[in-house]
Amino acid sequence: MIRKVFKKKPSEKGKLDAFLDKYKLPKSFFGINRRSVTRGVAVGLFWGFIPMPMQMLAVIATTPLLKFNVPIAISMVWLSNPFTMPPMYYMEYLTGNFILGQEGIHDIEMTVAWFKSNLGDIFIPLYVGTAFYSIVVTGMIYLLLNRLWVYSVKSEKEEKILHRKQREKNKHKHHKGKN
C-alpha cells in the first residue's frame, strides 16, 4: 500500500532518467525503495526540527554521508515553515524545560525584541528540546515507517497469493462444471 504511492510509471521513469543524466545527478538520491524513502523522511525531519536558517542546505550537506531520497527529505524540511515554526519551537522549548527540570519563562512574546532580550534564557532549553525531537522523535518515526513499509509489502504479497488461489479455485470449479 505505502509502496504504491511511490511507484513510478514507466513514462515518468524515462523523463526522470533523462533529467538525472542531463545534470549528472546520482540516481540513488531519487530512489524509491524502503531505505531511501524512510531515510529521506528521517533526514528531512531531523533538520526540520532544528531552529536554524537554510535547513534545505543542511539536507544537501548530508547527502555524502547517507543515501536517501533527497526530494522527500527536502519536502519534509518544509513541515517547519513560517506557520508551523512558532508552535514547533515553543513545544521544543517547553520539552527542553521539562527535560532540564526548569520552569522556564511564562510571559513569552512573539517579537524580535523579546527574543533578543531573552535569548540567553531560552537558548539551552530550546536546543535540549530540539535534540529530543530531532533524535528521539525522528528515530521513532523512522522505525514506524520501516515497519509500515514491511507490513505493506507482506500484506500485498498475501493479497496476491489469496487472489491467485481464488482464481485457481474458480477455474477449477469452472472446469468441473463443463465435465
- Domain residue extents for the chain: 2-178
Position 163 scores a pLDDT of 86
Give the C-alpha separation, 158 to 163, whole Å.
Answer: 9
Position 29 scores a pLDDT of 83
Give the C-alpha separation, 11 to 31, whole Å.
Answer: 16
Give the C-alpha separation, 65 to 38, whole Å.
Answer: 15
Position 94 scores a pLDDT of 93
Give the C-alpha separation, 115 to 2, whole Å.
Answer: 42
Residue-wise pLDDT tens for the chain (179 aa)?
A: 555 655 555 555 677 677 777 767 777 788 888 999 999 999 999 999 999 999 999 999 999 899 899 999 999 999 988 899 889 999 999 999 999 999 988 888 878 888 889 989 999 999 999 999 999 999 999 999 999 999 998 998 888 888 888 888 777 666 665 55
31 contacts 39 by C-beta, under 8 angstroms: no
Position 72 scores a pLDDT of 94
pLDDT 10s digits, 87-128: 999 999 999 999 999 998 888 887 888 888 998 999 999 999
* HEC-encoded secondary structure of the chain: CHHHHHCCCHHHHHHHHHHHHHHCCCHHHHCCCHHHHHHHHHHHHHHHHCCCCCHHHHHHHHCCCCCCCHHHHHHHHCCCCCCCHHHHHHHHHHHHHHHHCCCCCCCCCCCHHHHHHHHHHHHHHHHHHHHHHHHHHHHHHHHHHHHHHHHHHHHHHHHHHHHHHHHHHHHHHHHHHHC
Query: Model's pTM, two decimal places?
Result: 0.77
